[in-house]
Amino acid sequence: MSEHIKLTVQAIQSQFNAVVEEFRGETSLIVLPEFIVPVMNSLKSNFQFNALMDVTAVDYYPNETPRFHVVYQLYSMPENVRIQVRATLNGNSPSIDTVEKVFPSANWKEREVYDLFGVTFIGHSDLRRIEMPEDWTGHPLRKDYPLGYEEVQFTFNYEDIMQNKPQPKD
Amino acid sequence: MPDIREVSVEELRHLVSDRAMTGETMLLNMGPQHPSTHGVLRLLLELDGEIVVNMIPDIGFLHTGIEKTIESKNYQQSEVLTDRQDYMNPSGNNLVYCLAIEKLAELDVPERAQAIRVILAELTRINSHLLWLGTSGMDLGALSMFLYCMRERELVLDIFELVSGQRMMTTYIRPGGVWRDVPDEFEAAVRSFLKTMPRRIKEYEDLLKFNEIFLDRTKGIGVISSEDCLAYGLSGPVLRASGISHDLRKKQPYSGYEKYDFDIPVHPEGDIYARYRVRVEEMTQSLRIIEQALNKLPKGPVRSNNRKYVPPPRSEIGVSMEALIHHFKLWTEGFKPPKGHVYVATESPRGELGCYMESNGTQYPYRVHMVTPSFVNLQALPLMSRGLYIADVVGIIGSVDIVLGDADR
């Protein structure tokens, strides 16, 4: 861990009770979702992490507590270091404050996490689906959402499939 | 056929200005099928006459669920899917995916493989910039630009076919190195490309640099300031054209880039013309890197010897029991990297291309997320085009150089 990251980690750990993990030279801080906006503000103003490169989520179904980890990748251009912040969310109603006010680049990325995982971002200016069509139900990247294959049409199920197939209208 | 769904302005009320509610401004759909949007991008333009008051991009038309599919295939099988994401930079996608696997599994990559990877990545960068030059020149009216750039791309695609058998989606870069050694004709083909290319780049510059129409259409249009760039997380040529010198090949070098000597073009203006200059100069710098890599190409193996991740060569399988078992395991199950998560970022022709990979110890990736530059750069499109004409919007989309496969995955 570089000096800058050591200072950052010590401060965030003491202030917000974060758990620190280090793997393959990368540092990640695991925080509770209530603290995410103060943590982001502190990282941006005090420790010069001025670019949010990514907001994504991981689904740990069937583990319900926590079920989701929302992962933020931050990059500091002056110091040239990266750090990862993870917020743990439970499965019943995953919602977390938006970091859009701190980093405007989180706008579309949080929309994507909402669309594909169903995590609601409180305070987001424009929370709509982005990748899937607007009237889609379900959140595809969750582990309990099926991959969705097309059934192969053999002779024994030929009529069944032909009935459900969309046909051109006359 | 699915029923047509009518969307009223009410749904987008929070995004459009008040004048759209009264009908004073018009909402025009620059639909997914449009010759100038470089793919299936839908833009909802709120127009006051011909001036864009607001713009709402709508993506998702090319979403094929690559990340979901990767979770059900093993690591080698899903590398093929990463090729097809940013289809103008397939070697770059393979490279970032393989770098993530190598970081997770602590796999070594021999030096010859690193040099070959750099050559391929830079050739892909030139390929992508040539296509950008052709299509964005065509959008702005210089129709002959397109065919000249296609002519050069054919030379690069021939080199890819020589090396891997495939023109575009090569999947040549694999975890542990590259698939097989380059054939003997590779060096001659690349050197002849290096000889013809500088003259051609000069031809393209002469075509456009002093053309009054081109300058009028690109100077001062689509300006984005460097603070906005950082706030919106932009990267790549768009960032460098706004004055910030940031290139991951220099800042956090990967795959041996620290050994090569090259410059990073930076221009402070932030308009379309600055992005044009940055990309053309990047092509020249890529040629420098390729020449250095080719001159210094070390001899040696092209793939790691770690048989847990890399299949043994055919000749070994007949004589060694361990080789046979390794081959069997790799083909039936696939390799199993240790538990953990990594994030690796490289510099694609469009910006920072990153791969967040999490493994839970099985042969299927638990979660792979590709952080793609086109997705991020599209967010700033409304900011760049407020108050400009529709014709300028066409130029701006071309200058940001989005590829929808990248944005939608």
Please report the domains of chain B, with CATH numbers, ordered by start residue.
66-305+335-408 (1.10.645.10)
pLDDT > 70: percent of chain B: 97
- Across the interface, do B354 and A73 touch by the CB < 8 Å criterion? yes
Please provide the distance, in angstroms rounded to a whole number, between the alpha carbons at the two ends of chain B: 25
Average pLDDT, chain B: 88
pLDDT of residue B158: 92
- Across the interface, do A80 and B342 touch by the CB < 8 Å criterion? no
- Minimal CA separation from B321 to chain A, in Å: 33
> How large is the average pLDDT for residues B383-402?
88
Query: Which secondary structure element, helix H or strand E, spans residue B123, and what is its range?
Result: helix B111-139
Between A26, A58, A141, which is nearest B68 by CB?
A141
What's the number of CA atoms in the CB half-sphere (13 Å) around residue B272?
29
pLDDT of residue B3: 64
Judged against a pLDDT cut of 90, whether residue A155 lies above it is answered with: no
Whether A133 contacts chain B with CB within 8 A: yes
| Residues in A touching B343 (Cβ below 8 Å) | 26, 54, 73, 82, 84
- Across the interface, do B65 and A140 touch by the CB < 8 Å criterion? yes
pLDDT in tens, B30-70: 888 888 777 888 888 888 888 888 888 888 888 888 888 89
> How large is the average pLDDT for residues B322-349?
91
Q: Which residues touch A20 (CB under 8 Å, ≥6 apart)? A: A9, A13, A27, A28, A29, A30
pLDDT of residue B54: 86
- Minimal CA separation from A58 to chain B, in Å: 7
Judged against a pLDDT cut of 60, whether residue A36 lies above it is answered with: yes
> How large is the average pLDDT for residues A123-141?
85
- Minimal CA separation from B215 to chain A, in Å: 31
Between B59, B233, B369, which is nearest A105 by CB?
B233
> How large is the average pLDDT for residues B161-189?
90
- Across the interface, do B356 and A107 touch by the CB < 8 Å criterion? no
Q: Does any domain span residue A170?
A: no
Q: Which of A69, A108, A109, A136 to mutate to test the interface with B (most CBs of B within 10 A)?
A: A108
| Residues in A touching B103 (Cβ below 8 Å) | 24
| CATH code of residue A103 | 3.30.460.80
Whether A24 contacts chain B with CB within 8 A: yes
pLDDT of residue B127: 92
* Cα-Cα-Cα-Cα dihedral sign, residues A132, A137, A139, A144: negative
Chain A, nearest residue to B232 by Cα: A105
Judged against a pLDDT cut of 60, whether residue B75 lies above it is answered with: yes
- Across the interface, do A23 and B342 touch by the CB < 8 Å criterion? yes
Cα(A98)–Cα(A101) distance, integer angstroms: 7
Judged against a pLDDT cut of 50, whether residue B243 lies above it is answered with: yes
Domain count, chain A: 1
pLDDT of residue B96: 93
Whether A58 contacts chain B with CB within 8 A: yes
Judged against a pLDDT cut of 50, whether residue B1 lies above it is answered with: no
- Across the interface, do A131 and B59 touch by the CB < 8 Å criterion? yes
Between A51, A77, A141, which is nearest B67 by CB?
A141
pLDDT of residue A1: 67
pLDDT-based confidence at B2, cuts 50/70/90? low
> How large is the average pLDDT for residues A15-44?
87
pLDDT of residue A145: 84
Judged against a pLDDT cut of 70, whether residue A169 lies above it is answered with: no
A35 secondary structure, DSSP code: G
Q: Does any domain span residue A169?
A: no
Q: Which of A105, A132, A141 to mutate to test the interface with B (most CBs of B within 10 A)?
A: A105
| Residues in A touching B244 (Cβ below 8 Å) | 77
pLDDT in tens, B186-215: 999 999 999 999 999 888 888 888 888 888
Q: Does any domain span residue A60?
A: yes
- Across the interface, do A23 and B340 touch by the CB < 8 Å criterion? yes
Cα(B241)–Cα(A69) distance, integer angstroms: 35
Q: Which residues touch A87 (CB under 8 Å, ≥6 apart)? A: A30, A31, A32, A33, A36, A69, A70, A72, A96
> How large is the average pLDDT for residues B316-342?
90
> How large is the average pLDDT for residues B155-166?
91
Checking A15-20 for CB contacts under 8 A at 24+ apart, the result is A15/A42
Host domain of residue A11: 3-164
Whether A48 contacts chain B with CB within 8 A: no
Between A77, A105, A108, which is nearest B231 by CB?
A105
pLDDT in tens, B90-147: 999 999 999 999 999 888 899 999 999 999 999 999 999 999 999 888 888 888 888 8
pLDDT of residue A170: 59
Q: Does any domain span residue A56?
A: yes
Its pTM stands at: 0.91
> How large is the average pLDDT for residues A79-108?
87
Query: Which secondary structure element, helix H or strand E, spans residue B48, and what is its range?
Result: strand B42-48
